[in-house]
Amino acid sequence: MFLALSGFPLVLVSIIAFILIIGIIITVHELGHLVVAKRAGILCHEFSIGMGPVIYKHKFKETTFCIRAIPIGGFVSMAGEEPLDDLIKNEDSIGLNLDENGNCYEIVLDAKRDAHVRGKVLNIDLVGKTGENLYITLDVDGEEKYYVVNNDAIYIFEKDKRMQIAPYDRTIDSKNGFARFATLFAGAFMNFVLAIVIYIIVAFGTGVPNYNSSAIGAISGDAYPSYGLLEAGDKITKVNDIDISTWNDFQSETKKIYEGYGTTISITIERNGVSQKQTLESTTIINSIGLSNLSVKQDKMKLVTVPNTDIKGVEVGALALRYKTRTDKNYENALATGDILTGIKIDDTIYQLSTFGDNVWGEISRLFDQTKADNHLRTGSHTILFEYYHKTNDTYKKISYEEAKIIEPYTYEVLENQGIAPIEHYIGISPVMHFDFGRSLGQAFVNFGHDFTLIFRTLKLLIAPSDVRQVGVGNLSSFVGIFGIVEKYINQGFLALLSFMAMLSVNIGIVNLLPIPALDGGRILFLLIEKITRKKISKKVEAIINNVFFILLMVLFVYVTINDIIRLF
């Protein structure tokens, strides 16, 4: 909303927000590597944000800072990361440019470029592990000549590409184990720091709930039953004729109603000094399926009659159904918002909703919480079908159990891992928020801890042994999927978008620390192996392993991106 007010199309605003979010997260990550590497004395050739062709570059001291065309990823090129032993070999013809002391300050590998001297390499040491001078010995017109090479000499390649030489003491390999670990870990660490800072900003910006007051702080929107009946500033005094003085009292009383599968709530409020009573039907969401009455009007929360019939059912609200597709059916008539649901079939048992009475949504909750469906949902060994009347314009077409899609709900294990309650009730109101430094600061770290553990819970669902594999590679998201999420957050406001950015920063930090070659965590793993075995892994072997895993990651990235594009459209 904060950006949409500028008048730009939502897609354009989303693209700008996406580039800024990804750009900031990647920049902070790579700055972590750069700063710690430089403090350790490691030569950093290049600091790049993005991938692909360079669209802007500027050299500052030893490092070239680049912005590349594709706004994903980034890197810091450190001396010693790649095997460069064969860059210059004996018998190669090269040129040298010399300073006023006769020392080499440029090594010219471009045969077409002029140089102070040219000749064939007889001997060379540009590493200097022994601590002695770097040097090159050339055959210049049949005469052997020895040249000292400056520690900051520059290679000049074709097309004027330049790179500073890397004496051994400026490479990452020359540093002790702690310095190397700190350099590799710094990127993820800075992502965590960024997330915590953002969480603190969000917590201070939103405040924390004032549970000592029973006043309503905000109404969620017209999809919820409180809309039009309750207002921000109303003070709740009673719930079902039970006196209320704090928000904790309100939550306690509504919890009792929900635990008894009730959905009708009588709320007495005080507005402008006048007491009045409102009756609401709470919103019930079956999260394991995604079936809800969100956005259904208050007068249609109970059983309704299908037009031109005497059949009763419930109007379906916002949906997030998880389907197992039948390949032999046409699903143009799939269950949708506005349809009338008349029956639910779990395995061989049919439940007609007309028998549930006026508390139909509460009874649906009871069905999925207390019957045999509960055990099926926990194990995933179930078949769930709906019978409903599909609305097209003003007509309703019956879709039988045989015609409907099979519902494959997420198991309780999945829901618990993601911190989602199987059944949730919403009225659509929230308490008054107020500033409390201690609680706000604490909430920031609670939010960080939740998002920090979220990725591990997700990884558990992906790779842990399970009788029912409900989360797979197809559920992962690439940058295309992230863009789609950013687009959804745009209209929720600046602080909501910041919260998403913090969560994304935490995720990127943790993913980079996974012990997978080609990622920071893989390089830390190589460092750990080196410390245990007390043997250095060959740079060529490490490069081959990293390249192989990089290709595999790119294949995975392409696969996930294709899935994202399919979902997006």
| pLDDT tens per residue across span 383-430 | 788 999 999 888 999 999 988 888 877 777 777 777 777 888 889 999
In terms of pLDDT, which residue wins out, 446 or 10?
446
Query: d(Cα 236, Cα 417) in Å, to the nearest integer?
Result: 34
Amino acid 372: pLDDT: 60
Question: CA-based angle 509:181:22, to the nearest 5?
Answer: 25
Q: What is the mean pLDDT of the chain?
A: 87
SS3 per-residue string spanning 131-199:
CCCEEEEEEECCEEEEEEEEEEEEEECHHHCEEECCCHHHCHHHCCHHHHHHHHHHHHHHHHHHHHHHH
Can you identify the CATH homologous superfamily of domain 209-282+429-433? PDZ domain (2.30.42.10)
Q: How far apart are CA 36 and CA 514, in angstroms?
A: 20
Question: Of residues 381 and 200, which shows the higher confidence score?
Answer: 200
Q: What is the pLDDT of residue 6?
A: 47
Q: Do residues 49 and 26 make contact, with C-beta atoms less than 8 angstroms apart?
A: yes
Sequence-separated (6 or more) residues with CB below 8 Å from residue 151: 128, 134, 165, 167, 170
Q: How many other C-beta atoms are found inside a 10 Å radius of the C-beta of residue 265?
A: 20
Q: Can you give the residue ranges of every domain in the chain?
A: 93-165, 209-282+429-433, 284-425, 438-568
The DSSP line for 520-549 is: HHHHHHHHHHHHHHT-PPPHHHHHHHHHHH
* pLDDT value of position 4: 44
Out of 481-490, 521-530, 540-549, the most confident range is 521-530
pLDDT value at position 412? Answer: 74
pLDDT at residue 3 greater than cutoff 50: no
Task: Please give the DSSP secondary-structure letter assigned to residue 568.
Answer: H
- 158-204 pLDDT, tens digit per residue, is 887 889 998 989 999 899 999 999 999 999 999 999 999 999 999 99
Position 347 scores a pLDDT of: 82
- The span from the CA of 507 to the CA of 93, in Å, is 49
* Percent of the chain clearing pLDDT 70 (strictly above): 92
Residue 452 one-letter amino acid: F
Angstrom CA distances, 331 to 58, 271, 327, 399, 405, stand at: 56, 49, 10, 10, 8
Least confident range from 86-95, 152-161, 266-275, 328-337: namely: 328-337
Q: d(Cα 334, Cα 406) in Å, to the nearest integer?
A: 11
In the block, tokens 């992962």 appear at 476
Q: Binning pLDDT at 50, 70 and 90, where does residue 98 land?
A: very high
Closest of 213, 216, 203 to residue 439, by C-alpha: 203
b/e code 190-207 from CB counts within 10 Å (16+ = b): bbbebbbebbbebbbebb
> What does the pLDDT read at residue 30?
96
Average pLDDT over residues 12-21: 87
- Residue 204 forms beta bridges with which residues? none
Asked if the model's pLDDT at residue 371 lies above 90, the reply is: no
Entry pTM: 0.81
pLDDT digits (tens, 9 = 90+) for 287-312: 778 889 988 988 888 999 999 999 99
Burial of 458 (0-12, 13-18, 19+ CB in 10 A): middle
**Over residues 81-96, mean pLDDT:** 81
Token pair of 134 as six digits: 């770097």
The predicted pLDDT at position 348 comes to 85
- The CA–CA distances, whole Å, from 322 to 124, 344, 392, 557 equal 65, 15, 22, 24
Sorting pLDDT into bands at 50, 70 and 90, what band is 1?
very low
Which pLDDT score is estimated for 10? 73
- Please, which pLDDT band fits residue 5 given cuts at 50, 70 and 90? very low
pLDDT for 242-262, tens place per residue?
A: 999 999 999 999 999 988 899
